[in-house]
Amino acid sequence: MKAFRSSRRLILVVSVFAVAFLAFAARVAAPDSASADSSAATAANVVQLRIDGDIEPILAEYIVNGIQQANREHATLILITINTPGGLDTSMRAIIQAILNSPVPVVTYVNPTGSRAASAGFFILLSADVAAMSPGTDTGAASPVMEMFGQPAKIDETMHNKITNEATAYMRSYVSRRNRNADLAITAVTDAKAFSEKEALDGKLIDFVANSPEDLLAKLDGRTITRFDGSTTQLALSHVTNEPIGMTARERFLSRIVEPDVFFILLIAGALGIYTEFTHPGLFAPGVFGGIALVLAIISMQMLPVNLAGLLLIVLALALFVLEAKYPTHGVLGVGGVVAMVLGALFLIRTPWTGMGVSIGTALGVALPFAVIVIILMRLVLRSRTWKQATGKEELLAEEGEVTEPVRSAPGEGDITGMVRIHGELWRAAGPAGQTIPKGARVRVRKVDGLTLEVEPVNPRPV
């Protein structure tokens, strides 16, 4: 009986240990299974950014911040779609620097159909780990351009060669390391050559022609790419989650005020508002809105490559408008001011790489109304200085009235000898010494002394 009980205890103990062991094994195995399922379901994170329009400081800030965010989030790939006519050299270089230094692979893609990556956009397109284009797109035409009055302007040959040679050297520095056709790429700078998507692919400037972003990612799946530092990375893009990153509200707002035309309008509107407030104090509204516009213009000025000569020409124009109102020059100074302001607007943004700047239409559309308003306001100010005061005793000076009680000869100047009616009011009057002014005569006020008017006759009658 004791042996039976002992065997039962042994079986019970063994059973408890077996159950515990199985539970432990199941618990250990469960995370591995979940992990395997999770790995199978994990999708590649593709961060999408977009270059759309002129390449300027705020757009560059948006792209650089987006690349940095993708690296912080350890994204799998960064996809930058491009549709741009070009832009500022400094902004272009900031974007390219961020692309070259990005630990996460970067793909540039000219999309949608009908888009272009011209000028600075061409430089950016070729800087990425993978470059692609949609059917019906073009790229290239990256020669440095200077514009005046909306037309290309010739510059000194030495300066032109300097800019062109520096641009080609900059392009070679990274295009050759991307294993692309550097010699053909340089012709876009030296000869302003442009390429269709097929020509760019055949010339080994880009890696793919893809119909859509989804088609591009499908072609990249499993492909091994060589990074800028020489290392290789295999892309796994069978399961993809897209993370589009748009501009913040601040960036959208700033991207508008750094447009050259908008910047010029804000600058002139601010100057006009402050000028109106100084010439007509107490209106308040022109000063408030002018001050806001001027502050926004100063913010834009810190982001744009502003030319000091352009600002000086605008200040000169304002001075000429004021002088036109003050002196009878028959419009000579006014016309000179308009010319100075238009030239100042065209020279205001210094852009050696592209024609990005204030348009001739905006320059004329702002300069002409500004000239008219400033001249009119200044003439009103100058005319107001000759107006006689309409209140107080000073308004009586030089006024004429009628003698109601004879102003006779008095012993001394200033003695009260009669009464006069002026503005329907009776005033005590004092006449000049040794002179009598009869009743009904017309007199003119020459001085106000308290409640006494010193008068003199107007066309005095013989006594």
Walk along the chain (463 residues) in steps of 10 and give the mean pLDDT of each run: 50 53 49 40 85 90 95 95 90 95 96 94 96 96 65 66 89 92 94 95 95 94 91 90 89 86 92 84 85 91 84 91 80 88 86 65 90 82 58 67 76 64 82 78 82 78 50
In sequence order, the β-bridge partners of residue 110 are 82, 133
Q: Are 121 and 89 in contact (CB under 8 A)?
A: no
In this prediction, residue 409 carries a pLDDT of 55
**N- to C-terminal Cα separation, the chain:** 169
Same fold flag, 44-249 and 395-457: no
Other Cβ atoms closer than 10 A to 445: 21
Is the omega angle on the peptide bond into residue 352 within 30 degrees of 0, that is, cis?
Answer: no
- Name the residue ranges covered by the structural domains of the chain: 44-249, 258-384, 395-457
In this prediction, residue 332 carries a pLDDT of 84
In this prediction, residue 351 carries a pLDDT of 59
Is the omega angle on the peptide bond into residue 31 within 30 degrees of 0, that is, cis?
Answer: no
In this prediction, residue 39 carries a pLDDT of 40
Q: Report whether CATH 3.90.226.10 matches the domain 44-249.
A: yes
In this prediction, residue 35 carries a pLDDT of 41
Structure tokens at 128: 């990425």
Strand 130-133 and strand 106-110: the pairing is parallel
Contacts of 372 (CB under 8 A, 6+ apart): none
Query: Taking the model in full, what pTM does it have?
Result: 0.67
Contacts of 76 (CB under 8 A, 6+ apart): 44, 45, 46, 104, 105, 235, 236, 237
The secondary structure of residue 460, as a DSSP letter, is P
Closest C-alpha among 246, 188, 338, 266 to residue 58:
246
In this prediction, residue 410 carries a pLDDT of 53
d(CA 70, CA 240): 15
User: 395-457: which CATH topology?
Assistant: OB fold (Dihydrolipoamide Acetyltransferase, E2P) (2.40.50)
Q: Report phi then psi at 248, rounded to 5.
A: -75, 170
In this prediction, residue 112 carries a pLDDT of 93
In this prediction, residue 293 carries a pLDDT of 93
Say if residue 310 is exposed, middle or buried (CB neighbours under 10 Å; 0-12, 13-18, 19+).
Answer: buried
In sequence order, the β-bridge partners of residue 79 are 48, 107
Q: Are 349 and 325 in contact (CB under 8 A)?
A: no
The secondary structure of residue 109, as a DSSP letter, is E
In this prediction, residue 38 carries a pLDDT of 41
d(CA 76, CA 243): 11
